[in-house]
Amino acid sequence: MSKRLTILSLGVAVCVSLSGCGSIGKIAEKVKEQTTQAKQESNQAQDTAKYNTYIALSNYLTQRLDKTFEMYFQEFGGEEEIRIRKNFTGFNTIPVLQGHKDDVDKALAFASKEPSYQAADESVKALAPKLKELMETTGEMQTYYQNKAHAEDEFAKGKELHKKLLVQFNEVSDLADKFFSDFAVITEQRKKEDLEELKKSDQLVRYHAMSIVNRAQDIQKAFDKAGVTDDNVLDFDANQYAELYKLLTEDIDKFTELSKDKERLKKEKVQIVPVFTDSIQRVKTAATDLMEILRTKDTTINSDTKGKVTTGGKNMPLKNFDKRVSAVVDSYNTMIGLSR
């Protein structure tokens, strides 16, 4: 809306100038400058809207949809034939809301609009229709179990829905991976440009806050690229991790130092939220655990359970780190949203 008001204001200014001035050449040049500025602002607004819509799509896939099917497959299994527990009483999961469907439609619409995101646009065009189909089937499955219909038909429809969901989920997973890969080209460039601009304009609190998010995600990507999970965590190169760990902790320490400077916070118009400062310390702790695990080859190290009575079970340092990174991202977005 603010961009539209800017354009309308420029239009009014042009009309006044044309009727009240005698230098036609200067007026024409001024009109050209204002028109160019308005067009640039409009293009920037369109780019921002498209980028944020793709980000929202990515977040839905990696957070809500992924969690939905993690819960589903834990309950019913990931094989073609559904697995039903003897003591099954019902199933609830994250609902598919109309707003989520609207977001997918919005992303699909942007895929045919400027600015072009090249391969990412094509991957959205391929993904969106299949995702909508999966969302519809997921909603049907949720209604089926919420209404306890499985008790009436002895899981007849539940078995059909399971096979359908499995096929659709696998198809969407492949298309989503392609989208993530293609969109990463755009996001990485955008992050680099944003960081350079923040540093150039001496907005160092914002700079280090954003860099913390990037550094933490760099660690995630490094483990993923190496094919390392909690099952083979010791296979990761300790020296490579030490470098990544150093960069992350340096940014956390610098942010912590700068965030105490009230004058700088006022200058940058940053509102530090406790949930962010807490989350970055938690991700630092999780990252330190990983460092110690790789250094000592002791996979039982876990600062969260140190000194506590536990029920045993396998230690999951990478899963714990991923959870901490997710909290950092969420709290960062909250902080930036409040600091505009």
In a domain, residue 97? The reply is yes
Per the structure, the complete domain to which residue 80 belongs is given by 50-183
C-alpha dist (Å) from residue 76 to 51, 158, 162, 172, 332: 36, 10, 8, 19, 35
Computed from CA positions of residues 198, 204, 208, 209, in that sequence, does the dihedral angle turn out positive or negative?
negative
Q: List the beta strands (DSSP E) in the chain.
A: none
C-alpha dist (Å) from residue 32 to 11, 23, 38: 12, 14, 10
Question: Could you tell me if 70 and 129 lie in one domain?
Answer: yes
Q: State residue 34's pLDDT score.
A: 58
Q: What is the pLDDT of residues 205-262, one digit of tens each?
A: 999 999 999 999 999 999 999 999 999 999 999 999 999 999 999 999 999 999 999 9
In a domain, residue 90? The reply is yes
Question: Could you tell me if 177 and 205 lie in one domain?
Answer: no
**Contacting residues for 55 by C-beta, under 8 A, at least 6 apart:** 187
Looking up residue 331, the CATH number of its domain turns out to be 1.20.120
User: Angle 254-256-257 (CA atoms, 0-180°, nearest 5)?
Assistant: 65
Question: Could you tell me if 216 and 306 lie in one domain?
Answer: yes
In a domain, residue 314? The reply is yes
In a domain, residue 333? The reply is yes
Gap between the Cα atoms of 171 and 155, Å rounded? 24
In one-letter notation, the amino acid at residue 215 is R
Q: What is the pLDDT of residues 13-71, one digit of tens each?
A: 233 333 334 444 545 555 556 555 655 667 889 999 999 999 999 989 988 999 899 99
Higher-scoring residue by pLDDT: 128, 58: 128
Q: How many domains does the chain have?
A: 2
Gap between the Cα atoms of 192 and 209, Å rounded? 14
Question: Could you tell me if 221 and 146 lie in one domain?
Answer: no
For residues 117-144, give the mean pLDDT: 98
The number of beta carbons lying within 10 Å of the beta carbon of residue 287 is: 23
Gap between the Cα atoms of 139 and 132, Å rounded? 10
Q: What is the pLDDT of residues 319-336, one digit of tens each?
A: 999 999 989 988 998 898
